Chains A and B, each alone.
Chain A
């Protein structure tokens, strides 16, 4: 009854159970955190704006992104993946999301940042609809936990417009 195997089995089962409970509680504790991030984005320059030979509009922007995401870090946060997407509607598509810049924030100390950058990924439309187009810039973040459930949210910044002419 109380053989070595029996005791080892009981000990292993018990430790795995405790570990699972601790992981679950760690993940659940994230729900008590209400992050209040802030962000501001300026389009400093339209570097160039043209129609590609295949008929799709492409634009290159210089952006100034500043954000404070410190409030979303908890003890269960491994990293925060943050990206800035241009979002707009065209006659053919009811939603276009084009990621312009992204970054990985490894710790709370790096979560208050300021960056001056051109778009990291190509801002290309499906078609030729970008002239004079109003668009939103949305800062999305995905919180990757040490264990458990992943969280995501966003800040939508409105009122950006592309020029009427190619340049």
Chain B
């Protein structure tokens, strides 16, 4: 019980100037995280520069919980690249490999077919009804880098929100009660 008492005392003993400093430093943490994220968006040209692999369809290359770094350049899409795409009517983007490319001579528009390395057939069953090909506007980026396991943090937080709230609460308390 002594710990709680000390905490309460420390909250009581806070002075206005100290509270202000803590609010500012908390604001700094939040804004710098935001700056890093937006900076990455600018730098990579992709609206979501980092994605977490959610399914096992690219195993053994990418497992659930791995992190992929995306890049979206003007370079044409070629077979073999791992792209992240959105299908109309599906909320969650999919990370799969391009196996067929047909690039138009006059317009430069591409028809692309994808497949997960671990799936038996191609992705036409995943596409919208009657859709045979993906086009440029479906594709959000291509994977250029890889970091294992780190994505489990977000998967756990999404699936067990209680852990998220406990973590945020604990961190907030720590910031408020920290002496310096």
A interface, CB within 8 angstroms of B? 5, 23, 27, 78-79, 81, 83, 85, 91-99, 102, 104, 106, 121, 126, 140, 142, 144-150, 152
Partner of B143, one of A92, A98, A147, A150: A150
Q: Which of B80, B103, B111 has most A Cβ within 10 Å?
A: B80
Closest Cβ neighbor of B121 among chain A residues? A121
List 13 extra interface pairs beyond A78-B61, A81-B61, A95-B101, CB under 8 A: A83-B80, A94-B104, A98-B79, A121-B100, A126-B102, A126-B111, A144-B61, A145-B146, A147-B146, A148-B145, A149-B144, A150-B146, A152-B80
Closest Cβ neighbor of B112 among chain A residues? A97
Closest-CB distance, B141 to chain A (whole angstroms): 13
Closest Cβ neighbor of B103 among chain A residues? A95
B122: interface (CB < 8 Å): yes
Closest-CB distance, B46 to chain A (whole angstroms): 15
Closest-CB distance, A31 to chain B (whole angstroms): 14
Closest Cβ neighbor of B132 among chain A residues? A126
| Contact A98–B100 (Cβ < 8 Å) | yes
| Contact B146–A144 (Cβ < 8 Å) | yes
B105: interface (CB < 8 Å): yes
Known interface pairs A146-B148, A148-B145, A149-B144; A92-B79 also in contact (CB < 8 Å) = no
Contacts between the two chains (Cβ within 8 Å), count: 80
**Size bin of chain B's contact surface:** 20 to 34
B78: interface (CB < 8 Å): yes
How does the 8 Å CB contact mask read for B66-85 relative to A, with 1 for contact and 0 for none?
A: 00000000001011111000
| Contact A102–B101 (Cβ < 8 Å) | no
B117: interface (CB < 8 Å): yes
Within 8 A of A (CB), among B139-180: 143-148, 174
Separation of A98 and B99 alpha carbons in the complex (Å): 7
Known interface pairs A92-B104, A121-B122, A144-B61; A99-B99 also in contact (CB < 8 Å) = yes
Q: Which of A78, A85, A97 has most B Cβ within 10 Å?
A: A97
Known interface pairs A92-B105, A93-B103; A106-B148 also in contact (CB < 8 Å) = no
Closest Cβ neighbor of A152 among chain B residues? B80
Separation of A5 and B103 alpha carbons in the complex (Å): 58
Chain A neighbourhood of B174, CB < 8 A:
5
| Contact B60–A106 (Cβ < 8 Å) | yes
